[in-house]
Chain A
């Protein structure tokens, strides 16, 4: 101990000697700099004071975090649009805006991997042309979608806001690799082969150049940049394939070159689920897609309602998307983007677990769009995008009551022209003033008696002003 102190004091002496020598020369500028820094710090503090933290909390809901856990009667707290806490004993700041979700379910905002028209009539330059007031965006929020892909860009449905709409661009690279085009298939294989060889040589060169600096870097000419970034894991390869043979070929290609393919369609995927699982594939499927088996072939084929369940069981990550990605009011109802959770419900019908089906419309599409670090589940540090429903998200009867995007309430069913009148929620279900037990409930006047039925108390803080009109008491 003593020796340590000695050494320290020695070094201190040496240091101060040094300083004594050098100090006069630069004392004044350093002082000035410090002064400036202090001023800057003060200005920063002022800015911080001016910009107050925005808190938002969803209270008492059954929180389906999307990663597996379901927390009954829990709180989700958001700070400046980012989830600060999820749990039961969360301290909510007094200035926080709150939303009472008692008796309701809270899910992460849904993610649609493909969409059309939700961001207005844009020419692809979303940041400069998004229409955050357009009706389709409202309709999509009403069906629970808070993030959507369009033209290979991941976009946030920020209603009434044009800032921060674009989350990520070009994360998926669409490739063609099909038996119906043998020439193209061979070329694609060669591209992968060349890129793989180049990457191997490059790594080799990196290793060796430490010893031998004269070694030449391998030539990158002729190497497909898209394929290269796929093999480097910077983008995902996306294939459109539904035939068993095509799926097998893709699985082989992926396994041989070591990347994870995203397969759109994948109707016959259930027949080769093991191979796809081993290749680490993602499948983007529409459970209601139908296709006949080719009768001249002996092997399994055609569509199956169990497709999603079988693929999932084999380790394929399943993403669900409806057959029409726009808002479509014609044709057969219930097949457009507004029925994303219903489509996932059909996967459940075929045996997919509820949890996997929820992931198929939240975290899996978020991964495919390259934005799973921000959306797709309710976890601390992610964007506070959530939906509040009166039932299971995939049940046809459930309606989205509230949608929150980045800690802001952007959709409240009771306030929306197109939705307020559909099964208006009883005010008591949202914010019960006081709970009555069964014995007390019986004391309310019976129907037919002169007294009016007791109206729901209106003093509650959490109560919404827009109560649904109550039926007039029937005359006896």
Chain B
């Protein structure tokens, strides 16, 4: 009932035919894969100003609101490819550049962006290349005339390339030691500030706020700005920035745990799914921590054998959150992405986990799971309209909506 009234209240504002460029519009589809709370049959999604205003089954739509009625369509959140280098040149080198962002390399006119957008990928996580700590990734929308148009979040996650060797471990240990040093510096500065303040206001009693105090610049303590090389790690420690740790084998994981010691901070794992990867050795360990894992939808083999393993399924069962990335970082594999994930579902992964792995979990890696990645009220209207089940190989993309705007597909009222 409340929904109805809201819709009615909104109604007078709207007149005229479907405005494809982001006005209020109601979309009726056969089925909506919300990802966050299961599928909704006969779903109605109300989009306004680039956001999902309302979603539900058979919602009444007030007269005057343009309606797109496609009962044969299935809608799901736009795909999120959180680990890609599409459209940028590669470079490499073992370096420690946590402050580097890949956006200066960005070319908004690159044709790849249009192609993946038309395949339903509405968010990209562009990572900085290289080993060591090559920099931080940026979240992009694959459409825009300028770089600023494309960038959703400049600081999506810090990338750490970690391998089981003393150089990698030293890099990580040193980075955290620098954070400790910075903390000491802050502590000392705070003490000094306290001391200065006390000596200044020795006559005044503490807690008595006088009007002239407010004018004082040093009213609140401002911690010293950390070194640009240290800052990202401080942000990771404070939960302001995500971290993605790239590993290739169980031993890397064991040494990673050893390198970080007792420190507590959030991070996701990038597991490079090589043909004979032995990550099944640490399924339980990673699962019980509930980590996000960025991996390809790929069946792997037990080393030295032809025994197949579905690691995505095993990790999901153990409690890890699977965020898929396309098998190869190409346009073709972005197009075939849903089908590849479908194969993993065929091999035992739960359907819900698979759909999350295409949308909400990669959005979480980018730190955007509050804004996008599922069909929920208040989230960005990045919608992918399909001719059928998202994981069926015969399903086609019918239309794509990016920030409430149809960017692909023939849409009529």
Residues of A near B251 (CB, < 8 A) are 120, 129-134, 162
What is the size, in residues, of chain A's interface with B at 8 Å between Cβ atoms?
Answer: 19
Q: Does the CB pair A128–B281 fall under 8 Å?
A: no
Q: Does the CB pair B302–A125 fall under 8 Å?
A: no
Q: Does the CB pair B307–A128 fall under 8 Å?
A: no
Q: Does the CB pair B304–A162 fall under 8 Å?
A: no
Instruction: List CB contacts (< 8 Å) of B273-316 with chain A.
Output: 278, 281-282, 302-305, 307
Minimal beta-carbon separation of B362 from chain A (angstroms):
27
5 closest cross-chain pairs (CB), A and B: A131-B251, A128-B166, A133-B250, A125-B166, A133-B281
Q: Is B317 an interface residue (CB 8 A)?
A: no
Interface residue ranges, A against B (CB under 8 Å): 120, 122-123, 125, 127-135, 160-163, 417-418
Q: Is B249 an interface residue (CB 8 A)?
A: yes
Interface centre among B250, B254, B281 (most CB of A within 10 A): B254
Residues of B near A417 (CB, < 8 A) are 302, 305, 307
Residues of B near A127 (CB, < 8 A) are 166
Residues of A near B42 (CB, < 8 A) are none
Q: Does the CB pair B302–A129 fall under 8 Å?
A: no
Q: Is B318 an interface residue (CB 8 A)?
A: no
Q: Does the CB pair A162–B254 fall under 8 Å?
A: yes
The one of A120, A129, A133, A418 in contact with B166, judged by C-beta atoms closer than 8 angstroms, is: A129
Q: Does the CB pair B258–A162 fall under 8 Å?
A: yes
Residues of B near A131 (CB, < 8 A) are 164, 249-251
Residues of B near A418 (CB, < 8 A) are 304
Interface size, B (range) = 10 to 19
Residue of B nearest to A131 (CB): B251
Q: Is B395 an interface residue (CB 8 A)?
A: no
Interface centre among B166, B305, B307 (most CB of A within 10 A): B166
Residues of A near B51 (CB, < 8 A) are none
Q: Report Cα–Cα, A131/B303, bound state, in Å.
A: 14
Given contacts A128-B166, A129-B166, contact A135 B304 (CB under 8 A): yes
Q: Does the CB pair A129–B249 fall under 8 Å?
A: no
Q: Does the CB pair A129–B303 fall under 8 Å?
A: no
Q: Does the CB pair B255–A129 fall under 8 Å?
A: yes
Given contacts A133-B251, A162-B255, contact A128 B304 (CB under 8 A): no
Interface centre among A120, A122, A128, A417 (most CB of B within 10 A): A128
Q: Report Cα–Cα, A129/B162, bound state, in Å.
A: 11
What are 23 A-B residue pairs whose CB atoms fall within 8 Å in the complex? Answer: A120-B164, A120-B251, A123-B165, A125-B165, A128-B164, A128-B165, A128-B166, A128-B255, A130-B164, A131-B164, A131-B249, A133-B254, A133-B281, A133-B282, A134-B251, A160-B254, A160-B281, A162-B251, A162-B254, A162-B255, A162-B258, A163-B258, A417-B305
Minimal beta-carbon separation of B279 from chain A (angstroms):
9
Q: Is B169 an interface residue (CB 8 A)?
A: yes
Residue of B nearest to A124 (CB): B166
Residue of B nearest to A126 (CB): B166
Q: Mark B238-254, 1 if CB is under 8 A from A, else 0.
A: 00000000000111001
Residues of A near B304 (CB, < 8 A) are 135, 418
Residues of A near B254 (CB, < 8 A) are 132-133, 160-162
Residues of A near B169 (CB, < 8 A) are 128
Residues of B near A162 (CB, < 8 A) are 251, 254-255, 258
Residue of B nearest to A418 (CB): B304
Q: Report Cα–Cα, A370/B304, bound state, in Å.
A: 35
Residues of B near A135 (CB, < 8 A) are 303-304
Residues of A near B281 (CB, < 8 A) are 133, 160
Given contacts A160-B281, A162-B255, contact A129 B250 (CB under 8 A): no
Residue of B nearest to A123 (CB): B165
Residue of A nearest to B280 (CB): A133
Q: Report Cα–Cα, A161/B254, bound state, in Å.
A: 8
Q: Report Cα–Cα, A355/B248, bound state, in Å.
A: 45
Residues of B near A120 (CB, < 8 A) are 164, 251
Q: Does the CB pair B164–A133 fall under 8 Å?
A: no
Residues of A near B165 (CB, < 8 A) are 122-123, 125, 128-129
Q: Does the CB pair A133–B255 fall under 8 Å?
A: no
Residues of A near B255 (CB, < 8 A) are 128-129, 162
Q: Does the CB pair A133–B249 fall under 8 Å?
A: yes
Residue of A nearest to B307 (CB): A417
Minimal beta-carbon separation of B27 from chain A (angstroms):
49
Known pairs A130-B251, A133-B278 / 12 extra A-B pairs, C-beta < 8 Å: A123-B165, A128-B169, A129-B164, A129-B165, A129-B166, A129-B251, A130-B164, A131-B249, A132-B254, A133-B281, A161-B254, A162-B258
Residue of A nearest to B259 (CB): A128
Minimal beta-carbon separation of B288 from chain A (angstroms):
15
Residue of A nearest to B168 (CB): A128
Minimal beta-carbon separation of B274 from chain A (angstroms):
14
Instruction: List CB contacts (< 8 Å) of B347-394 with chain A.
Output: none
Minimal beta-carbon separation of A393 from chain B (angstroms):
26
